[in-house]
Amino acid sequence: GQQVMQIPQYQHVQEGEDFTTYCNSSTTLSNIQWYKQRPGGHPVFLIQLVKSGEVKKQKRLTFQFGEAKKNSSLHITATQTTDVGTYFCAGPLRGNEKLTFGTGTRLTIIP
Amino acid sequence: DAGVIQSPRHEVTEMGQEVTLRCKPISGHDYLFWYRQTMMRGLELLIYFNNNVPIDDSGMPEDRFSAKMPNASFSTLKIQPSEPRDSAVYFCASSFAVEQFFGPGTRLTVL
C-alpha cells in the first residue's frame, strides 16, 4: 500500500490565497521530489530536495524537507489560476531509482 | 527533442482482447519507467528498466501484464487478456539522472 501520504487530498482556495500541501513518509528518504500534474496532463518535475532541513524557492513556491527527512511541504504564496493541478511528492523508499509517489493534493482555484 | 512519446493516446477495447502500449523514451536516457494511474490507487510504478534490462517488476499486477524493452529507443507494455479493472491512464517516463520525464500517457478503457 501507499507509504507516502499527502494531506490534504483536495484544496479549494480563492485566487490570491496561499496553499500548502504536506507529505509524510513511513521511512527516512534520501531525497524527495515534487511533481505537478495539470488536469488531463502528465506529471512534470518541479524540484528535488536532498539535505535535512533544506528549503528551496521557485518564485511563489517554497519547498521544505524535514529535519528527519521523513516529511516535506510545498507552499504556494498568492495562488494564481495557473497553479491549478495535482501536486505529488515522490521519494525512493527502496533503492535509488524507484520512486514511490504520494497520494497527491488536488488544488482548485476559485477566481 | 520531442520528449517521451507514447502511443496510442487513447485505446478502447473489449474484455479479453490483447492491448499493447508503446513508448519511445528521450534519446540518451538510460532509465525507463511504466506507471499506471487510477483514481482509486493513484500513481503506481509497474516496472522499470535500466539500459534495456528490467530491474524491478514487483509492481506488475499479475501475469496478464508483460513489458519489454528490445532496444534503447522502444518499450512496450502488453496486457493479455485485458479486463475492465485494467482501465486507467498508463504513463511511460524516462530519465538519466534525478528528474523523470513523463510521456502524455495512454488512456485505456476496457469494456
> Which of B100, B101, B106 has the highest number of chain A CBs within 10 A, making it the mutation to test binding with A?
B100
Judged by CB atoms closer than 8 Å, whether chains meet at B45 and A98 is answered as: yes
CA-nearest residue of chain A to B107?
Answer: A40
Tell me which chain B residues have a C-beta less than 8 angstroms from the C-beta of A43: 43, 91, 93, 100, 102
* DSSP calls for A55-95: EEEETTEEEEE-TTSSEEEEEESS--GGG-EEEEEEE-SSS
pLDDT of residue B1: 66
Q: Which residues of chain B have a Cβ shorter than 8 Å from any chain A Cβ? A: 31, 42-45, 48, 50, 55-56, 91, 93, 98-105
Using CA atoms, how far apart are residues B41 and A32, in angstroms rounded to an integer? Answer: 20
**Nearest by Cα to A107 from A38, A11, A39, A22:** A11
Strand-strand pairing, B5-7 and B19-24: antiparallel
d(CA A38, CA A89): 15
Confirm if B81 and B17 have CB atoms less than 8 A apart: yes
Q: Which member of A41, A42, A101 has the closest CB to residue B42?
A: A101
* pLDDT at residue number A58: 97
pLDDT in tens, B53-77: 999 999 998 899 999 999 999 999 9
The minimum CA-CA distance between A87 and chain B, rounded to whole Å, is 12
CA distance B75 to B25: 8
Tens-digit pLDDT profile for residues A10-22: 999 999 999 999 9
Query: Which A positions 45-104 lie with beta carbon below 8 A of chain B?
Result: 45, 48, 88, 95, 97-104
Residue B22 CB contacts under 8 Å (≥ 6 apart), including other chains: B6, B7, B8, B74, B75, B76
Stretch A45-69: mean pLDDT, rounded?
97
pLDDT value at residue B97: 85
Residue A94's pLDDT band, with cuts at 50, 70 and 90, is low
Over pLDDT 70: what percentage of chain A? 95
Quote the DSSP letter at residue B58. T
Is residue A17 packed enough to be buried (19+ CB in 10 Å), middle (13-18) or exposed (0-12)? middle
Distance from CA of A49 to the nearest CA of B (A): 11
User: What's the pLDDT score for residue A95?
Assistant: 60
